[in-house]
Amino acid sequence: MLMVVKRSGVTEPFSRDKIKSGVRKAIRPRPVDEDGLAKLAQRVQDEIRAKGCAEIASREVGLAILEPLRDLDEVAYLRFASVYRDFTSLADFEEAIEEMRAAARSGAEPGGTESAGTERAGTDGTDTAAAPETGAKAATGT
């Protein structure tokens, strides 16, 4: 059984339902149906299981959600990413949108560095990618 390790160190079983309930908040009231949401959750689960680990950090679950959510609905992606990546200013949104536009022009994956798991420094010099479990909490099972 795949286990999710929370920031606190507590582990709990991975749950696709928790992925769906967390992402559901980002997609509300976007035109995304339950089938699309179920496919996203399955895609995230498949990606995580493909890593072959028995345990995965909740942060990694959140990162695994970003790409499928962007493919499902760009506005919902920005909502989720704004919490998960801890956007603190309009410039953070503008940067994410420009990444998406540049990727669309080139056919590459938007946010390839951050959605692939690299860190992002906050305005105070702290690592913001690992810290925000507030809004992404429900989506990552924490």
* Tens-place pLDDT, residues 13-44: 999 999 988 888 888 888 888 899 999 999 99
3-state SS, residue 109: coil
pLDDT of residue 29: 84
Q: Let me know: does 31 contact 37? Beta carbons within 8 Å.
A: no
9's CB contacts (< 8 A; 6+ apart) are none
Site of tokens 């925000």: 132
pTM (2 decimals)? Answer: 0.66
- Listed residue (84, 78, 109) closest to 19, CA to CA: 84
Query: Which pLDDT band holds residue 109 (cuts at 50, 70, 90)?
Result: low
Q: How far apart are CA 104 and CA 101, in angstroms?
A: 5
Residue type, 14: F
pLDDT of residue 123: 34
- Listed residue (137, 45, 30, 38) closest to 77, CA to CA: 30
